[in-house]
C-alpha cells in the first residue's frame, strides 16, 4: 500500500500524568492506572504532498481509562488559527494515523486505541521551547495550559538532566525527559503537577521517525 508523501520536523513538548520517566516509554503500565496527556508541536520544516507545513502549530489532548494499549481512549486535535485550510487538512490527515504505515508512527499507534475522536478545533496556540535550557510551554485559551522544565533534584534543587534514546521508537529517536504541569478544562479534563514530560525534535514521515 502506498502512502501520501509527507514529512514533519520540529520541536515537540509532551506532557503526561505519569511519574517522571513515563512507564509507557519502557513498555510498562501507567503510574496511576490510566493515561492522560497533552502535547504540542511547531513544524519548522515539512510538507504533505505539495502543501508546505512550515510554521504550523498543532496540539493534542488525550485520555485513556487504563493503559493505552487497552484502548477506549479519546482525543482532541487542535490546529493553530494561522494555518491555512490546506495546512489544517494536511496536519489532521497526519494526526489521524491513516497516512502512516501500520505501527510506524505515534499517530497510527494511538489511532488504533481511540473510542472517541472529538471534532477538531481551530484555536490560537501559544508555543515556546528552549532546546538548550530544556523548557517549554503551550497555551490554548479555553483548552489547555502545559509547561515543561528540567526535573529538580529534591535535595539540592539543581536540574537533574535525563535523556532517553529509543532506536526503534515510533515518536522520537531521542528525547530529554523533564517535569510537567498541565491543566485542561476542556472536553478532556486534565490536571497534574510534577508529571512526566519530554522535549524532542520530531522528524518523521509515513514510515516513522527519520532521525
How many residues are present in the chain? 211
What does the pLDDT read at residue 154?
Answer: 87
Beta bridge partners of 108: none
What does the pLDDT read at residue 17?
Answer: 98
What does the pLDDT read at residue 186?
Answer: 96
DSSP annotation of 113: T
What does the pLDDT read at residue 42?
Answer: 98
For residue 126, the surrounding DSSP H or E stretch is strand 126-130
pTM of the model: 0.95
Q: Which residues contact 137 (CB under 8 A, 6 or more apart)?
A: 13, 126, 127, 128, 129, 145, 146, 147, 148
Question: Cα angle at 130 between 202 and 21, to 5 degrees?
Answer: 60
What does the pLDDT read at residue 1?
Answer: 72
Average pLDDT by consecutive 10-residue portion of the chain (211 residues)?
Answer: 93 98 94 97 98 98 97 98 98 98 98 98 98 96 98 91 95 97 98 97 98 92
Domain ranges of the chain: 6-209
Amino acid at each position: 500500500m502506498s502512502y501520501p508523501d509527507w514529512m514533519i520536523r520540529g520541536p515537540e513538548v509532551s506532557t503526561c500524568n505519569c511519574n517522571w520517566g513515563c512507564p509507557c516509554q519502557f513498555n510498562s503500565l501507567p503510574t496511576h492506572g490510566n493515561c492522560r496527556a497533552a502535547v504540542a508541536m511547531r513544524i519548522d520544516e515539512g510538507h504533505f504532498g505539495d502543501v508546505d507545513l512550515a510554521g504550523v502549530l498543532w496540539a493534542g489532548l488525550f485520555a485513556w481509562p487504563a493503559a493505552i494499549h487497552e484502548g477506549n481512549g479519546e482525543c482532541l486535535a487542535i490546529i493553530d488559527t494561522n494555518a491555512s485550510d490546506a495546512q489544517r487538512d494536511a496536519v489532521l490527515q497526519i494526526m489521524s494515523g491513516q497516512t502512516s504505515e501500520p505501527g510506524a508512527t505515534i499517530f497510527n499507534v494511538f489511532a488504533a486505541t481511540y473510542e472517541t475522536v472529538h471534532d477538531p478545533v481551530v484555536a490560537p496556540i501559544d508555543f515556546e521551547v528552549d532546546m538548550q535550557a530544556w523548557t517549554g510551554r503551550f497555551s490554548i485559551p479555553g483548552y489547555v495550559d502545559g509547561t515543561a522544565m528540567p526535573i529538580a533534584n529534591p535535595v539540592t534543587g539543581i536540574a537533574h538532566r535525563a535523556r532517553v534514546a529509543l532506536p526503534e521508537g515510533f515518536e522520537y529517536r531521542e528525547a530529554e525527559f523533564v517535569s510537567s504541569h498541565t491543566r485542561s478544562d476542556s472536553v478532556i479534563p486534565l490536571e497534574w503537577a510534577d508529571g512526566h514530560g519530554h522535549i524532542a525534535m520530531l522528524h518523521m514521515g509515513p514510515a516513522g521517525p527519520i532521525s
